[in-house]
Every structure is written in structure tokens, then in C-alpha cells.
Amino acid sequence: MKLLLTGVTGQLGTAVAGLAPQRGVRVVPLVRPARPGQVPFERAFPSLAADRVTGDVRRPLWGLEDAVLDELADSVDAVVNLAGDTNWAGSGRDLYAVNVLGARNGHDLTRELQRRSGRRIVYAYASSIFVAGGTLGRIAEAPLAPDRHRTAYEHSKWLAERELERRHTPGEPDVLIARIAALLGDSATGATRRRNSLYLLAERWDELPGRVLPAMRGAKVDVLPRDVAAGTLLDAVAGLHRGGPRPEPVFAHVSAGERAPGIRGLLEVARALSPVTFGKWLRVVPASAEQVLWLSAHAERVLPLSQAWRNSLTGLRYIGLDRVMERGRLAELVDGPLPEPSTEKLARLLFDIPEPPRPLAPADSGLSRFLA
């Protein structure tokens, strides 16, 4: 397959671009014009520089010229939109421009490429599992209702989903709306492009007020290493492309789903792996969904919090709610097992706990006979 890919410099996009050659996938990155002080794209991503095109998801047809559109129409099999404004403290205008208009413009672009080529080209849009807002229980891979608990970021992603639903008609490109779980670093190296609110909570372990962490009794931590999410997303796009035409957008949860560990189990594993790191233990206090959601959104009303702390507390939504992301649609698209990250691996990535050193043979050769 050949993909036109946006968001290549982000957490998920970097992982997709890095994994694509191993999957026999060629990537054409769409990048914004260089800004003063920014590291040039060709220096940051030398292997992708030759194939890049310049554009902006906020512009119609992503700002691509006719000659570029003709070239892409003859070669790409899918348009994959990973570009997104993920700043929970960002302005509503910026969130709407990137997340909603970017999604709509990407659909229009895919439709134009399909029209020019006469070939079937699919469109994949990266949403978030957190469009669920405050919904509890089993979350279906289907359109979601309005929810008053969504943050501005989550609401913009939900609006993008609604926009793609509205624009999908017979003969239009098939659409995959991939709701992505919270992402940690690479499962092999731990490398990460950014530290989201879940990381920020881990970094403030010793500073949590009262040494308590409010969470529902069945709360789960639905996170994936970014390379695992990237591989699953590539498989899902390939599955959509090789299938027949779809009468409506396909929703799929790229997440741990029912295999996500509980918050209590994850913390216990972390403490077992590194007891010294967690010398000051905290209590996971049972709380209702309303309490968790209120604290994650409004704690600054009663506590003097910095911007970093407000973002950290927003991360309580990652770990404090009792819900499971269904993955039946994902299973239909993906050949092979679904993501099932180990609790130990997630704990090591989240709390920066190094892997144990490999045992070495003693220098005294006379003792080697005791080694198995």
C-alpha cells in the first residue's frame, strides 16, 4: 500500500512512518511549510524527505496543487489523517480548525483523488477513545451521543466524527474512524515524542494532594505503546482497503479494550517492579464517575493549580473511569491478534522503570560449571 500521511511528526505518526517499511507500506508525508526556528523536516526525517508534499490540513484539499493531486491520485491507496491539536488548554478556534476542518478537508481530498484516479481510495481519520466523555460501561464502535462531560479537545474530535458521518454518501470514499487509545512510548525503546497527561500524573506521584487517587472501583487504564497502536492502525487501514465498499463509516477502537489493566493492578505491578521508587505509597480511593469527572475538569476552582497541574488532573479521565472499549469491528479489519499489552510493560513505560539487567557470567571460569 501507499499512504498519504499527515501528522508524521507526532506521537502516532512517527511510529506509523517508522513501522511502514517493515509492513511493505510506502508513506508520502504531508508537512506544513517550515517555520522560523523549526528543525527542517529533511533533517528530522531524512528517510521521508524525498517523498514529502507540502500542505496544511486546515486548507481546502489540504492546500495541494493540481499537479500534486494528479500524482497522488495515480499512486496512493489511502489517505491517513493523524494530524490533530491535542492541547486540552488550547483555544476552541484552533481545535476546530485542525481537528474538525482538517477531518472534513481530508475527506474532500480523498474524494477528489478517487474521482481523478477512478480507483477506490479509502480515508482513515484518527479520533480518540476519549470522545466517550463521561460514558461508562461498554463503549460500542458506533456513533456517540452528545455528552456534557467532554473537554474542548474531546468535543472537537466528536464533532469531526459527526462531520464525517454527515458527508458519507453512496459512492463516497470508504471511511475509517479509528478511535486511538492513550499512547505511551515505544514498547522496545521507550522513546516517546511527547509526554501526555498520563505521564504527567506519574511524574507527580509524590505531589498528589493527600496521597490519594480517586477512581471508580472497576477503573481501567486503556493505553498502548505507540508502536503497537501504529501497527494495529496500519492493519486496520489495509483491512478496510481490501474489503468491499461500506455503506457507512467504520468505527474501530485501536485500544487494549477488554485487555486493559485495572488502575489498582497497574500500580501494584509498578510497586513490585521498583519498591524504592514508590517509597511513599498512595491510596486509590473509590469515587463515583461524577466525582472523577468533576475533579478532572474543575479542580482549579478550589486549588491553586499551575497549567501543568491542570493538565495532569485532566489525565484522571485516563485512569479513573470504569468502561471497556469494544473491539469487534477492529477484529473484523485486522488479520491476527488484537493488542494485548502486558501490565508489566505498561508499568515500565509509564513510570520509566528500566528493564532488569541481564545476568552476566562470573569472571572466574572455575565457577562456570555452576551456570545452567
Give the chain's residues under pLDDT 70: 37, 88-90, 209, 299-312, 359-372
* Backbone dihedral angles phi then psi of residue 56, each to the nearest 5 degrees: -150, 120
- Please report the pLDDT score of residue 362 as a whole number: 61
**DSSP-derived secondary structure letter, 106:** H
What is the longest distance spanned by two Cα atoms in the chain? 76
- Please report the pLDDT score of residue 354 as a whole number: 84
**DSSP-derived secondary structure letter, 150:** -
- Please report the pLDDT score of residue 365 as a whole number: 60
C-alpha cell at 55: 500542505
Task: Give CA–CA dist 27/99, Å, rounded.
Answer: 21
Task: Give CA–CA dist 108/115, Å, rounded.
Answer: 11
Contact 125, 175 (CB under 8 A): yes
Query: Sheet holding 2-6: strands in order across?
Result: 53-54, 26-31, 2-6, 78-81, 122-128, 175-180, 250-254
- Please report the pLDDT score of residue 171 as a whole number: 84
CATH no., domain 2-189+223-256+323-340? 3.40.50.720
By CB neighbour count within 10 A (0-12 exposed, 13-18 middle, 19+ buried), where does 339 fall?
A: buried
CA geometry: angle 257, 258, 259, nearest 5 deg: 90
181, amino acid identity: A
Rg of the chain on CA atoms, in Å = 22
Residue matched to cell numbers 480507483: 119
β-strand partners of 176 = 124, 250
Q: Assign 99 to helix, strand or coil.
A: helix
Contact 2, 77 (CB under 8 A): yes
- Please report the pLDDT score of residue 318 as a whole number: 85
- Please report the pLDDT score of residue 280 as a whole number: 73
- Please report the pLDDT score of residue 113 as a whole number: 96
- Please report the pLDDT score of residue 124 as a whole number: 97
CB proximity list for 39: less than 8 A, separation 6 or greater: none
Q: At what angle do helices 11-19 and 226-242 cross, to 10 degrees?
A: 70
Contact 93, 154 (CB under 8 A): no
- Please report the pLDDT score of residue 80 as a whole number: 97
- Please report the pLDDT score of residue 304 as a whole number: 64
Extended strands (E) in 82-207: 122-128, 137-139, 175-180, 182-184
Task: Give CA–CA dist 372/357, Å, rounded.
Answer: 18
C-alpha cell at 220: 481501567
Sketch the domain layout of the chain as residue ranges.
2-189+223-256+323-340
